[in-house]
Amino acid sequence: MVRAFAAMSATVAVLGALTAAPATAAAEPDRTVRILDGQIRCLISADWQGRGRPATVCGRVDGQTFQATPKGMNLAVMLGTGAVYYIAGSVPGPESADIVVGAGQTDHINGWTVRSEGLRAFISYDIGGHGMRINPVEATSIWL
């Protein structure tokens, strides 16, 4: 009886590890996107910083801050959980590799939906609907 229970426990542990491994291995690489006539550049990640958390990081291409951000913090970070915070830095990678989403277009990248309208854009995590409304003046969290 004890052996059967131990064998069953080991089997469940192995199966649990196997089902978790493909999700980590299947994470797509981070992508960058330009929106609003190239004024905003974002990093879209399914596994930001290798910590298993989806995130989008956006900033103005001129390096300036958004209107209501803390001093010196020029990037808005939106996690898939809906948490929003600001950091200083720049969106990594060459601009030549950016996906360009023009006005009236929608693209799906790494589990996020990027929708660009004339004067604003919406970026939302497909699971849960947490997102960000962004334009060159402000980046605010929304729930779609």
pLDDT of residue 44: 97
What are 94-144's pLDDT values in tens digits? 999 999 999 999 999 999 999 999 899 999 999 988 999 999 999 999 987
Q: How confident is the model at residue 45 (pLDDT cuts 50, 70, 90)?
A: very high
Kind of pairing between the strands at 31-35 and 99-101: parallel
d(CA 1, CA 17): 25
d(CA 84, CA 111): 17
Q: pTM of this prediction? A: 0.79
d(CA 86, CA 66): 10
